[in-house]
Structures are given as structure tokens and as C-alpha cells.
Amino acid sequence: MSPLLAVRDLHVGFGRAPKANEVVRGVSFDLSAGQTLAIVGESGSGKSVTALSINRLVDFGGGRITGGSITLQRADGSALDITGATEKTLRQVRGRDIGMIFQEPMTSLNPVHTIGAQIEEALRLNRDLTGQAARSGALDMLDRVRIPDAKSRLGYYPHQLSGGMRQRVMIAMALASSPRLLIADEPTTALDVTVQAQIMALLAELREETGMAMIFITHDIGLVAGIADRIMVMQGGLAVEQDETDAVLDRPQHDYTRHLLSAVPHFTAGKAARSDGPRGTETKPVVVVDDLVVRFPVGRNPFRPAGAVHAVDGVDFDLMPGETLGIVGESGSGKSTTARAILELTERKRGRLTVSSSRSRRPIQMVFQDPFASLNPRLNVEALLAEPAIANGQRKDAALLERMTFLLDRVGLPADALTRYPHQFSGGQRQRLCIARALMLNPDVVVLDEAVSALDVSVQAKVLDLLIDLQREFGLAYLFISHDMAVVERIAHRIAVMFAGQIVEIGNAQAVLSDPQHSYTKRLIAAVPAIERRNQHFSLDATQVPSLVRPPGYEPPEAVWRQAGGDHQVRLETVT
């Protein structure tokens, strides 16, 4: 039987001279009907361009297929070479044979049409359904992607839905034409981990139901372990390895695959947690946070508030010198707001922050998530590094220059970096620069707010190693905020799990990860993709985060804590 899709020696280039600027340089693979191929690689590896070439969407991004062939077997049994097809044929292929879902569910839906209208349009274009037939078809599609209460959701606009729901709508639109091949380009990267697990489960179930083939593009090899039949690993525009999933994961042949599997943080449920924590010895905490509360008023009238968003609601923790406290939680759980409140970037409603520092005027410094946004593009590295010192009354003298070159060296950047500008560095280098800058004032505590989340996976691993080295060398305490459990496991001594503005579980990292007690922690940990757990099956779960908008004067009930071991406390769950 001939395969559904056969790609042979595919070359794709960009720009005025596509031959000279090839991004994909000879990729071949076959995909049979009903099979799932995962394309794994880091940014710039050509994985998305390969996928976009299959339905020739790459043309609209300025790309040209410069060589090779893509043969698609169409529904009527004829074979079509995509590389030479006309735009008219391609339009039919895109609608009826190949469906696609994208990374950003926020931007792939039109904000001014209801989701019902958008699904109906897909049905009208691809299946010639109109009127009542299209409406009931749309309802059917929403049911199929397991959107609860589908009938009333048809009239919703995209902004009224959460990210996970929007991605389901995107999937519904892609499936509207019953495609035989679905291309999913990082469909869960922008989503929270529990939502990601649900989308993955949904895709797996839909594949069973419809028998469609799937191409799944991702940077996270752990994520596809449970869903893919075959894995293709790409690096620098080449497919460096492709084989059955088990073969690639258990017996990787290429160095790069091995690197992806070993160097990159993978979640291991506490096995990789650090055990060099300073807790237990006779040291005084460097930071104590007591009953931290941050609220944002809701409503237009400042004198008669309609209520408030309880972004952070009574958070307590302490931090020892040389210790990392990882704060994990999903978007909206208040973890970033906690960090900003500690740095006084956001006003605290209540709460005490005790800092005992001996060595710096500004003992708490911060590294932000986006290394492209946190450095002023118009200043060179010397000015960027000098800023904290100058702000605190130092003069730009030889001693300051010496400290700058010392720190640059420590974070692994060349000394000649001083005269260069941020845009001349890669994302990982910029983040090293941000770390060096945070260390300029010799702080006791560094708050790392998703500091490695924007980086490629193998760069992530290197920056994490650097952070651990620096922690040992300077005795730094870290407050490490992340949604990525695998990353937190690598660096944290202790972990605090945040949910709806409150800490629900806190304690020794190994204890929390291997033996979660709170139901939310359990759900969070179960959702983390892991190579070891690739044969487990996720069930769909539509639990929603409760609204954090509370009426004026509302105070949460007093937290009751339960000891679950030496250094491990769990908040008792109240039935609401």
C-alpha cells in the first residue's frame, strides 16, 4: 500500500535567493494513514517549515520549495505532487485533505466573530453545508472536541473562552472537513500543563475515532512520547534520526537525540531533585514572607469597588541563604504577582516582608522571563551592566569595570561583549547577561520569574547549570518561579505549589514531587508529560480554576495546615 504522504528530499529556502538560504535541507519521510509522526527539534531546526511545506502555507511566509517532492494521496485515490500544484488545487487540499492547528489559540481565531460562525464557515467552505445543517454541524463539532455545554458556547466570542477551550475550537475547525491528515504545530506550547494534558488526550481520542493521520510538531520530546508512532528528530534543517517511537526513546542512535534525551530536563517525579539544601542547619532565613496579600480592584468607580481580584491571598514562606524555593502553578495562580510584590513592583495590600541582609543595599534582584524585553535595545552591555551600580551611587571606575568583566566571565560571556548591543546576542546569552546584571549589586536573593521558559530546551539545561553553580559560589537564595515542573525539579530544594492565589502545598522538593498530597498538586503532577510514563493514559478532566474576583470585604478562611512528613505541609482542602 502506498503511504498517505511521501516526502522525498525536501528542500525549502527563504528570501530572494532561496537556494542559498535553505532552512530545510533534504528531509524525507513517509506517513501511512492513521499514523502519527512527531517532528521534534529546537527553534531554527526547520520543523515548522517542513510541516508548513506540506500544505504549502510556507509560500505565504516568503518560503520557496527548492527541491524534492511531496506526494499526497487524495481522498479519491489519486496522487498529487504538492510541490507543483496550483494555488486552486492547494486551496482544496488545505480544506479537505489536510487540517492544521497552530500554536497560538489566541491569535488564530478571529476576535469579531462568534466561534459558532467560524466553525460554520469551515463547514460551508469544505463540506458545502449551509443554514441549519451548518449550525447543527457546528454543534456536533463542539461536542466532538468535548466542549461542555456546547449549545450555549456557539454564540461565544473567542475572548470569552480560556486558552484550552480556544484550542479545542481550533481543533474543531480543523476537523470540520474530516481531513485525512492533521498537522499540529506546537498546539499545546502556550497552554498550562493540565490543559496541555487534556488537549493531548483529546487528540489521541479523536485520532482513534476518525482514523486520521497526524503530524505533531514540538520541542518537547517527552510530550509526544505517549502519542506518536514514529519520531523524527530535526537539527539544522536535517532529519538526524527517525524511527519508531520506542526505538528512538530507548535506543537513540544520533548524538543530538541522546543530548535531547539526557541533557534536557525531563520530569522524573522527584528523582532528580537536589539534595544539597541548607535547611536543617542553624541558619537564619534571609527572607520571611508573612501573610502576603495582593488585590486588584474591579469596577470603574474607585470609591465604590465592585470587588477585587484576589491575585495573592495570604502567602507565607521563608527562604534560607543558598536555598532555592520553586514556586509552581498555572497561569493566574498568582506566582508572578507574588514575585512582583516582593520586589515592590506591585503594591501589597497587606503582608510583612522581612529581609535580613548584610551585604547589599538591594538584597533582592530579579531576572525576568523574556530576555528580549528586559534589556533596553539601545544601550550597550557596558551601560546595561553599569546601570544597577550607578543607580546606587557608585561611580563608573576601574573597580566597577573589573566587576563587570568578572561577572561576564562567570556567566560565560566573552569580555569583549561590553561594547556590544543586546540584539547581537542569542536568547540564552541575553539571559546570561540578565543574570550578570542581577548579580552586579551582590544580592542575597535572586527572583527568577520564568527565567528559562523562553529558551530552547538544550539552552535551558545550560542556564540551569549556570544558576546552580552561581548559587554555590555566591551563596545565593533563589525564588524560582515556573510552570515547568521538569525545570523546577532540577533546581529547587523546596517547592511551593500555588493555586488560586494561595500556597496549597509546600515542602522538600523530593517529598512534594514524589508524594503529592493536595488534590491540585496530584493533578498537576499527573499532567506533566514524561518519557517514563509514556504508556499511561490521560482521562479528560474539565475542572476549571475558580474565579478570583471576590466581593468587597471578602476574606478567605484561615488556612489549616497538615504535616505530611519532615518538611512537607499541605493545606487542608475546604469544600466550597
Minimum CB separation of residue 376 from another protein in Å reads 5
In 3D space, the residue among 386, 373, 52 whose CA is nearest the CA of residue 186 turns out to be 52
Among 79, 306, 390, 560, binds another protein (CB under 8 A): 390
* Rounded least distance, CB 36 to another protein, Å: 35
Tell the burial category of 388 from Cβ atoms under 10 Å away from its Cβ (0-12, 13-18, 19+): middle
Minimum Å distance from CB 437 to another protein?
8
Residue with smaller CB distance to another protein, 335 or 518: 335
Taking the C-alpha atoms of residue 415 and residue 437, their distance in angstroms, rounded to an integer, is 14
Q: Which of 52, 175, 286, 364 binds another protein (CB under 8 A)?
A: 364
Beta strands in 119-199 (DSSP E): 181-185
d(CA 164, CA 90): 29
Burial of 28 (0-12, 13-18, 19+ CB in 10 A): middle
The answer to the question of residue 302 lying near another protein (CB under 8 A) is no
Q: Which stretch binds another protein (CB under 8 A): 66-74, 225-233, 376-384, 406-414?
A: 376-384
* Strand pairing category for 98-101 and 181-185: parallel
- Of 107, 110, 376, 547, which one interacts with another protein (CB under 8 A)? 376
Considering the complex, state which of residue 220 and residue 449 has its C-beta at the smaller distance from another protein.
Answer: 449
Residues 428-447 close enough to bind another protein by CB under 8 A: 434, 437, 441
In whole angstroms, give the CA distance from residue 27 to residue 50. Answer: 8
Amino acid identity of residue 347, one-letter, is E
Is residue 395 near another protein by the rule CB under 8 A? no
Helix (H) / strand (E) containing 256 = helix 255-262
Q: Which is nearer to another protein, 242 or 369 (CB)?
A: 369
What are the beta bridge partners of residue 502? Answer: 499
* Residue with Cβ nearer another protein (104 or 370): 370
Closest CB to another protein among residues 239, 366: 366
The contact mask relative to another protein for 39-68 (x = CB under 8 A, - = no) is ------------------------------
Count of CB atoms situated within 10 Å of the CB of 220: 20
List 235, 365, 471, 510, residue binding another protein (CB under 8 A): 365
Smallest distance from another protein to CB 377, Å: 7
Whichever of 32 and 357 has its CB closer to another protein, that residue is: 357
Of 315 and 375, which CB lies nearer to another protein in the complex structure?
Answer: 375
What's the rounded Cα separation, in Å, for the pair 291 and 277?
Answer: 24
With beta carbons less than 8 A apart as the criterion, state whether 207 and 215 touch: no
Shortest distance, position 428 Cβ to another protein, whole Å: 17
Restricting to residues 317-356, which ones interact with another protein according to CB under 8 A? 340, 343-345
Please give the single-letter amino acid code of residue 110. N
* Closest C-alpha among 503, 509, 492 to residue 566: 509
For residues 143-156, b (16+ Cβ closer than 10 Å) or e, as one string? ebbbbeebeebbeb
Query: Does 14 sit near another protein (CB under 8 A)?
Result: no
Q: How far apart are CA 382 and CA 400, in angstroms?
A: 10
CB of residue 496 to another protein, shortest distance in Å: 21
In this complex, which beta carbon is closest to another protein, that of residue 247 or of residue 343? 343
Q: Which is nearer to another protein, 106 or 390 (CB)?
A: 390
Residue 532 is a binding residue for another protein (CB under 8 A): no
Q: Considering the complex, what minimum distance in angstroms separates the CB of residue 388 from another protein? A: 4
DSSP-derived pairing of the beta strands 287-298 and 307-319? antiparallel
**Span of 74-82, 247-255, 372-380, 482-490 interacting with another protein by CB under 8 A:** 372-380
C-beta separation of 459 from 396 below 8 A:
no
CA 362 to each of CA 80, 343, 355, 441, 446: distance values in angstroms, whole numbers, following the listed order: 65, 10, 10, 7, 11
387: contact with another protein by CB under 8 A: yes
CA–CA dist 271, 265 (Å, integer): 12
Closer residue to another protein in complex, CB, 369/510: 369
- CB-CB contact of 427 with 460 (8 Å): no
Closest of 576, 556, 548 to residue 298, by C-alpha: 548
> Which is closer to another protein, CB of 132 or CB of 301?
301
Using CB under 8 A, pick the residue from 379, 466, 531, 549 that binds another protein. Answer: 379
- 480 binds another protein, rule: CB under 8 A: no
Measured distance CA(517)–CA(126) in Å, rounded: 49
Among 181, 199, 366, 435, binds another protein (CB under 8 A): 366
Distance CA(322)–CA(47), nearest Å, equals 40
Q: Which of 102, 368, 478, 538 binds another protein (CB under 8 A)?
A: 368
Positions 162 through 221 that interact with another protein (CB under 8 A)? none
400 sits near another protein (criterion: CB under 8 A): no
> Contacts with another protein: how many residues (CB under 8 A)?
28
State which of residues 17, 106, 391, 572 lies at the interface with another protein (CB under 8 A): 391
Residue 177 to residues 31, 70, 174, 389, Cα–Cα distance (Å) = 20, 21, 7, 60
**Binding residue for another protein (CB under 8 A) from 52, 228, 320, 375?**
375
Q: Give whichever of 331 and 346 is closer to another protein, judged by the CB atom.
A: 346
Rank residues 380 and 458 by Cβ distance to another protein and give the closer one. Answer: 380
Helices (H) and strands (E) in the chain, counts: 18, 22
Single residue of 355, 383, 466, 559 touching another protein by CB under 8 A = 383
CA angle 163-535-238, nearest 5°? Answer: 70
Residues within the interface to another protein (CB under 8 A): 340, 343-345, 361-362, 364-366, 368-370, 373-379, 383, 387-388, 390-392, 434, 437, 441
